[in-house]
Structures are given as C-alpha cells and as structure tokens.
A and B are shown apart, each in its own frame.
Chain A
C-alpha cells in the first residue's frame, strides 16, 4: 500500500501543502481531486522525490519510498513531455531501461504497448511527427512500459477524446486488476466517478476527504430529493429540507436523519406521487462540500 502521511511543503510564504494524508491500496484506483492550486501536483511530485517535503512521509508497504522502489513506479506528469526528435520505440526502450529493465525486455514491452495502444505502425516515427492524440498515447506508454506496481498520473484524461478516455480507463483497470496501486488527478468528476472506487479530495493543501466513493456517499448527512406530485414539482414543508443551487441547477436536499417513509407519507398526503427520487449525493456534491470556502 502506498501511504502518504502528513506531507507539508512551503515555498517561501506560499504554503503548497499543509497536511496531505491518504492511502492508495493495491488493486485500487484513487481519484485525487482538488481545485487548481490545491496541491495535487506537489503531492504527486513528492511521491517521486521531485519535491522534498518539509515534513511528512511517503511509504510503500510500510517502508519509506526510495530510488530503488521508485523504479517500479510509473508517472505521467501534468506537463507532458518527451524527446521530440527521438523515435517512438527507442524512446520507450530508453525509459524502460532507465527504470531498470534490460534492453531486450524493454524492447519487448515497448512493442506490446505500441500494439495495445494502436501505435505499432508509428513504431519508428519521430515523436514530433505524431498527432497530439498519439503523442498522448506514447506518454502513457512511457509511464507503463516498465510494468509499474504504483502508477501516478497527473490529469491523464485532459485532452483525450472519448475513445482515448475509454482506452486509458481500460489500461488503468487492467493495472488495478493485476494489483497495482493507482493514483490519478482529474477535474472531470463524472469521469472520475466512472473509473475509480476511492477518492481523496484536497483543499488548500489539506486532504479533507478520503475513502471509498460508495461509503462517502452513504455516510453523507443529506440526500438528494426530487418529487413530483400530480405532475408538479413538490417539496415537503419541513425544517430539514433546503434548496441547493449548483451550476444553475436547483435541487432539494434533505437531512439523512429524515426517514424515507416519512417523506413518502408527506408526499402521499399532498396528492398522487408521479415521481420520487431519493439518493445519496454524487461526487460533484461531495467535492463542492469538501472545497467550500
């Protein structure tokens, strides 16, 4: 298990990280969420020793992460970058070797990934001759060519078309199924909801929410409520209900302490129920709650 514990980092007067703690368990995909400047990239760089934290630890299976362990980590930084004039296959072999593979293994693995990502016909092209989408695929292949057991991806879905999203999701799923620990950041919350089981939400340098998406939703202290009576929107007149406006869309939320039966009874008393929806908050709701000023 990759464990980030109480990481703090300050640049002069700017506090990049105040207290970041979360776990990435083997076989799990953790969505790492936060607003711009919340500390996601700094946290990820800390995992790779690219940023030396002022305090806190990063451990894998209880041992502090060192250079040797990091060689089994894969990383896709937010700022994508590869050698533009290097051929695709040679580039993958190079990064495989830097991660400790011998040349033959790295070459075989590079071939497998190029096939998997539909790039085998561009094997000997220079990177600069590839389309943006294909360059993104090579970047992904670079992160995984050495078959890492920990995968850290900073905004991996940014700029991908739906097919690219599906193919990346599959790669992540496959790695998780083989027992890898995966951490990725994203702003596309609906996408995150579809890909990962666990989330960690960071706000102003502090990880404020961490856990499985299902239990976070279940343990939220409110439920989304949407009821129509006689074909008209309806709301019970009780103090435990309020209207939340989000992205121009207004909806009612009710304290989770109010039993569903009681809400149903109130609705029935008002007329014929034509529609009734009562569900835990979605990731968007959880995120908004977590980063609220």
Chain B
C-alpha cells in the first residue's frame, strides 16, 4: 500500500466521522442562516436608491415642474416632483420626510439637513430654465426659439481610465472574500489542531503511528478536514448569494454578482486551499505540543497572530490605493493568500507576480509539512506538560 492510499483512508475517516457529528451539521446550517439573514436585513436597511423627491409650494414658475423633470433626465437622475397647495403644507411635508427637498416660491430651497449637490444643481438649473422661458416670452420670442435656447444640453463623458462600473461590487467581494478567507483558515486550522490534540489525549495516536508515518497521518487529516471546510464555505457562500439574489429589497443593487462572476469564487476557493494548507500544518505543529484540549488555547492563537497583520492590511486597503506595503506583503507567503486576491481584484498584479507568489507559497507549504510532521513525531508520544515546539523538532532524528 502506498502513501496516497493511507492518506485517502485517513482523510475519509475524518470526513465520515466529523460530518456525522450533530454539532458540525448544526454549525453549517446555523452559520448559513445567520449570513443569509444578515444580508436580507442589511439590504432592507440600506435600501436608499429611491428617486429624489422634490416638493413645490408657494408661487411656482410656469413649466417649472416639467423643467425639473427634463433637467433630471439630462443628468440621468431619477426624480419625482409633487406640488403642494401652500408653503406651510410643503414645509410640513419636508419636516415629515415625505419629500427630500422643498422649493418655496421657486426661489428658496428647504431641507431638513442640507441639500445634496445633485439636488442643488437640478433645482437651480431648472429654475434658470423656467426664468429664461418667461423672459423669452416677454421679449416676444416664439416657443421654438425659446425651446432652442433653454433645451438642456447633455454633456458627453470620457474617462481616461478604463471604465469599471462594477468597482463597488469588486470592493465588496474583495472585503467579504478576505473576511471569509481569514475566518475559514482560522476555524479549520483550529479543527486540525483539535483533532491532533484529541488523538494525543485519548492515546490513539500511538496505535495509528505504529501503522503509518506521521506525514501521512497529518496530510490525511488536513485534507479530510479541508474538504469539509470547502463544503462548509460553499454552503455559506451559496446561501449568501441566494440571499442577495432573492432579497426582498434592493439595498445591494450596486452589487452586481454577474459582474463578479464564477471565476472570482473559484479564485477565492483556490486562495482558501493555499492558505488553509499552509496554516493547517502550522496549527497541527502547535497542536501536537499540548496534551489536553484545555491547553490548546495557550498555543492556538499563535497561527492566527501570524495571519492577522495580512488580514488587517487588506481590511484597511480595500477602499484606498494599492501601496508598496501591500505589494510587498503579497509576497510574504503567510499573507499571500489573503493579500494577493486584493491586488488581483484591483488589476494591480502582473501575471508573473501572481505566479511567483504562488510558487513561494507552495515551497512554504512543502517546508511546513516537513516541519510539522517532524514536530508531530517528536511530540506525539510525549504527554503531560506542553512540549516546546523546537524541542519536539529536534527530538527525533529519523
């Protein structure tokens, strides 16, 4: 029997035994529901893409209502205009927030807390148009002449940088992706560490290691738990997508999933695999140094501390520009899986940079597997007090 078969057998046991656990099943369903629920709630709260509502009251210039609508149309802004009998009725409506902006006597803009630039521009342009229409009539211009003078002119817009209407979506996905990556890596890394400690605590590890070597056991364990992790993340991401698509409100209307596309999710999965492989073996090595689950917390935070700076870097860089620090961090193997996706999303990374960073990660994984397997062998049969990780590493010579 070769090593691959052994790894398969170990991985299968992990998958079968763990997926049978009620806690595991409940946690998947629970997290999926929470994520989907949060998206639905946020979309309802955040639904502010309603058209601007304008109220007119007092003396209204003739044609102003139509002029507001046509100016708004020229700047591609949805707008509703309603007319109030009296000035007081309009001010009441503004106060009650049944309209966003009130225009009293075609000259005074009334709001609760200041008008936005868009509203200001639309209203002042429309009032100007209406005034000129009146002046034009007074000096005897025909309707056609007046219209020729006041017709709103649409400007053409040229962007020197390539247009990316889905930038919002990409930022959201990049941020959500890094949160999911960080949490999954830490969570499943902890599962690996717990599995290692459990086997040590109930002493079965000696029976297992008398049959297969520590590398096969470790790799099998990591792959089994990792596949479960991918299944779990897939369920959660799917529930999030379904919630976005079928959400009753359009608070995430700016998030265009089609623009993100399947490749982004595949890429996310790829980076998860790399990050998980790297960190799960780090978790395994630290897990092997303790003998009881109660002691695990004293070492399990260390791998998370290694990953955390990369995570924060991404969180604080999502809205800003790609700095040299981010570029450098994307080549530090422990941070690559979480930082490089950000650079790729921004179109900042050259293909060879991505390739080099992935190569560095693979070499790192290879080194860590060897390191972790050796620590594991050195510490697996040592019970009692915590073993120093380097002591465990040196403890064996085979």
Contact = CB atoms under 8 A, between A and B. Distances in A.
Interface of A: 45, 48-52, 67, 70-71, 73, 75, 77, 79-86, 94-95, 97-100, 142
Contacts of B9: 94, 97-98
B266 interface: no
B385 interface: no
B203 interface: yes
B205 interface: yes
B134 interface: no
Contact of B398 (A52, A85, A86, A100): A52
B17 A86 contact: yes
Interface in B380-398: 381, 383, 396-398
Main secondary structure of the interface of A (DSSP, over half): loop
17 contacts: A45-B206, A45-B381, A50-B209, A51-B381, A73-B210, A75-B206, A77-B203, A81-B203, A81-B206, A83-B202, A83-B204, A94-B9, A94-B13, A95-B207, A95-B208, A98-B212, A100-B1
- The 8 A-B residue pairs with the shortest CB-CB distance in the complex, in nearest-first order: A81-B203, A52-B398, A81-B204, A100-B1, A75-B210, A48-B210, A79-B203, A77-B206
Interface of B: 1, 6, 9-10, 13, 17, 202-213, 381, 383, 396-398
Contact of B206 (A50, A73, A84): A50
A103 to B, nearest CB: 9
Contact of A52 (B204, B206, B396): B396
B369 to A, nearest CB: 18
B210 A77 contact: yes
B6 to A, nearest CB: 6
A100 B6 CA distance: 8
Contacts of A142: 207
Max chain B C-beta neighbours (<10 A), residue from A71, A73, A83? A83
A81 B211 contact: no
Contacts of B206: 45, 50, 75, 77, 79, 81
B209 A81 contact: no
B202 A84 contact: yes
B204 A98 contact: no
A73 B209 CA distance: 12
A180 to B, nearest CB: 16
Interface centre among B1, B210, B396 (most CB of A within 10 A): B210
Contacts of A86: 13, 17
B203 A67 contact: no
A95 B204 CA distance: 11
A219 B73 CA distance: 115
A145 B208 CA distance: 14
B17 A95 contact: no
A99 B216 CA distance: 13
Nearest to A54: B397
Contacts of B210: 48, 50, 70, 73, 75, 77
B398 A82 contact: no
Contact of B397 (A52, A80, A83, A100): A52
Q: Count chain A CB atoms within 10 A of each CB in B1, B203, B206, B383 and give the residue with the most.
A: B206
Given A45-B381, A70-B211, 12 more contacts: A49-B213, A50-B381, A52-B398, A73-B210, A75-B206, A75-B207, A77-B207, A77-B210, A81-B203, A81-B204, A98-B208, A99-B211
User: Which among B1, B204, B206, B211 has the greatest number of chain A C-beta atoms within 10 A?
Assistant: B211
Contacts of B212: 67, 98
A84 to B, nearest CB: 6
A32 B375 CA distance: 30
Contacts of A77: 203, 206-207, 210
Nearest to B208: A98
Contacts of A82: 202, 204, 207
B203 A80 contact: yes
A11 B206 CA distance: 19
B17 A98 contact: no
Most chain-A CB neighbours within 10 Å: which of B205, B207, B209, B396? B207
B28 to A, nearest CB: 19
A82 B203 CA distance: 7
Contacts of A80: 203
Given A50-B381, A75-B210, A81 B398 contact: no
Nearest to B396: A52
A85 B13 CA distance: 12
Contacts of B211: 70-71, 95, 98-99
B7 to A, nearest CB: 11
Contacts of A98: 6, 9-10, 208, 211-212
Contacts of A85: 17
A70 B383 CA distance: 24
Contacts of B398: 49, 52
A22 B134 CA distance: 118
B210 to A, nearest CB: 4
A13 B206 CA distance: 25
Nearest to B378: A52
A160 B263 CA distance: 61
B208 to A, nearest CB: 7
